[in-house]
């Protein structure tokens, strides 16, 4: 009998340790998420064009709302598990067990929380894929590839919900290795392909500028924005890889529980943080900013708008094309202008 209580006590301590780690990391990450969300809303409402604003504002707000709901549900589920364990530990005569949910109710709430979590991951993939599609001028082949990957992620999420058994209210932890392996693959593929396409476009931009304007002339701001999109995309993929490692029991016991909670908010932080980082770059009118040449000129009278006759045709075109790119990347995306669409 003492062995049973000893085992239960160890299990209870393990659950308690997981709860402490979960609450600590989730509290920190969620606090950062709130600050970044409020900042991104300010940027979207005041600095971004109308057509871009609606999509990004709607997506970030939806993901923020889903994160709140998921946090509430996860907290409620955690308390139910703890209460169930307290009932098991407090067996002495005269003890009145704490009321807990029925197992059916626990399963329903768990499935709702799991569905919201996977929807967050899919929305994050859509945002990343959308940036790549816009950068590639909505190329139908790119759209088809990324759409296929997103559909694969959605199907994998459905399979994961069906194959991942919901533990009883008195237990916790991941019960099957199939679950994370199903969705991690398509999600990683979607983000790697999207980020790779953005990196390809960044390389094309750099080669084009170097070809027409030489090594000394570089689009400092546009290159920074491209770098932000590429680096953040690969970092997000690395987070998913760490999550996979934790799900395969290659990390200490609290590893998966912590990563499972943190990943939920990272998927929302990723597109939100990009909006802020891009907006922190220099003004869109400063395409070729400092270090565009090795010389500094005396300040003269204000110049009028750039005209085709002011410089050779190929130089004017590269200025015009990439200045437009700079304006569009300042909003986190690139949009094709009406004039370019008619060409």
Res 166: pLDDT: 53
Q: Is residue 303 part of a domain?
A: no
Q: Is residue 299 part of a domain?
A: no
Q: Is residue 301 part of a domain?
A: no
- The DSSP call for residue 215 is T
131: Cβ–Cβ under 8 A, 6 or more apart, which residues? 194, 198, 229, 332, 333
Q: Is residue 99 part of a domain?
A: no
Q: Is residue 304 part of a domain?
A: no
Q: Is residue 128 part of a domain?
A: yes
Q: Is residue 321 part of a domain?
A: yes
Give pLDDT tens digits for 148-172: 999 999 998 888 887 765 554 444 4
CATH number at residue 10: 1.20.1070
Q: Considering all CA atoms of the chain, what is the largest pairwise distance in Å, rounded to the nearest integer?
A: 95
Give pLDDT tens digits for 205-249: 778 777 766 554 455 667 777 787 888 889 889 988 888 887 777
Higher pLDDT, 274 or 158: 158
Chain mean position to CA 110: 23
Concatenating the DSSP letter of every residue in 135-202 gives HTTT-HHHHHHHHHHHHHHHHHHHHHHHHSPPPPTT--S---THHHHHHHHHHHHHHHHHHHHHHHHH
Query: What value does the mean pLDDT of the chain take?
Result: 69
For the chain, percent of residues with pLDDT exceeding 70: 55
Res 148: pLDDT: 96
What's the number of domains the chain is made of?
1
174: Cβ–Cβ under 8 A, 6 or more apart, which residues? 164, 180, 247, 256, 260
Q: Is residue 298 part of a domain?
A: no
29: Cβ–Cβ under 8 A, 6 or more apart, which residues? 261, 262, 265, 266, 269
Q: How confident is the model at residue 285 (pLDDT cuts 50, 70, 90)?
A: very low
Q: Cα–Cα distance between 45 and 57 in angstroms, integer?
A: 8
Res 149: pLDDT: 95
H-helix segments, the chain: 2-47, 50-89, 103-135, 140-163, 178-213, 220-247, 254-279, 313-329, 338-341
Q: How confident is the model at residue 188 (pLDDT cuts 50, 70, 90)?
A: very high
Give pLDDT tens digits for 87-126: 665 555 555 555 566 677 778 888 888 899 899 999 999 9
Most confident by average pLDDT, 44-48, 58-62, 176-180: 58-62
Domain of residue 17 covers 2-88+104-289+309-338
């Amino acid at each position: 009998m003492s062995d049973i209580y000893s085992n239960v006590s160890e299990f209870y301590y393990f659950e308690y340790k997981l709860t402490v780690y979960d609450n600590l990391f989730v509290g920190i990450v969620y606090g950062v998420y709130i600050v970044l969300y409020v900042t991104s809303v300010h940027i979207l409402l005041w600095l971004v064009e109308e057509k871009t604003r609606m999509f990004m504002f709607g997506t970030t707000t939806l993901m923020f709302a889903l994160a709140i709901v998921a946090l509430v549900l996860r907290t409620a589920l955690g308390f139910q598990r703890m209460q169930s364990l307290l009932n098991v530990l407090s067996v002495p005569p005269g003890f009145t067990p704490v009321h807990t949910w029925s197992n059916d109710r626990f399963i329903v709430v768990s499935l709702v929380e799991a569905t919201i979590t996977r929807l967050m991951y899919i929305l994050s993939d859509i945002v990343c894929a959308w940036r790549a599609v816009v950068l590639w001028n909505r190329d139908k082949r790119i759209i088809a590839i990324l759409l296929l990957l997103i559909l694969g992620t959605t199907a994998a999420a459905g399979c994961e919900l069906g194959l991942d058994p919901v533990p009883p209210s008195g237990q916790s932890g991941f019960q099957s290795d199939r679950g994370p392996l199903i969705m991690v693959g398509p999600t990683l593929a979607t983000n790697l392909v999207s980020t790779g396409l953005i990196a390809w476009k960044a390389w094309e931009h750099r080669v084009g500028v170097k070809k027409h304007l030489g090594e000394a002339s570089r689009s400092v701001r546009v290159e920074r924005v491209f770098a932000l999109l590429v680096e953040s995309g690969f970092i997000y993929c690395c987070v998913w890889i760490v999550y996979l490692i934790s799900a395969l029991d290659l990390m200490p016991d609290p590893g998966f529980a912590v990563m499972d909670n943190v990943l939920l908010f990272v998927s929302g932080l990723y597109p939100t943080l990009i909006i802020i980082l891009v907006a922190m770059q220099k003004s869109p009118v400063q395409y070729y900013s400092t270090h565009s040449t090795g010389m500094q000129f005396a300040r003269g009278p204000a110049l009028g708008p750039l005209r085709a006759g002011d410089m050779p045709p190929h130089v004017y075109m590269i200025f015009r094309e990439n200045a437009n790119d700079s304006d569009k990347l300042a909003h986190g995306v690139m949009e094709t202008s009406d004039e370019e669409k008619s060409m």
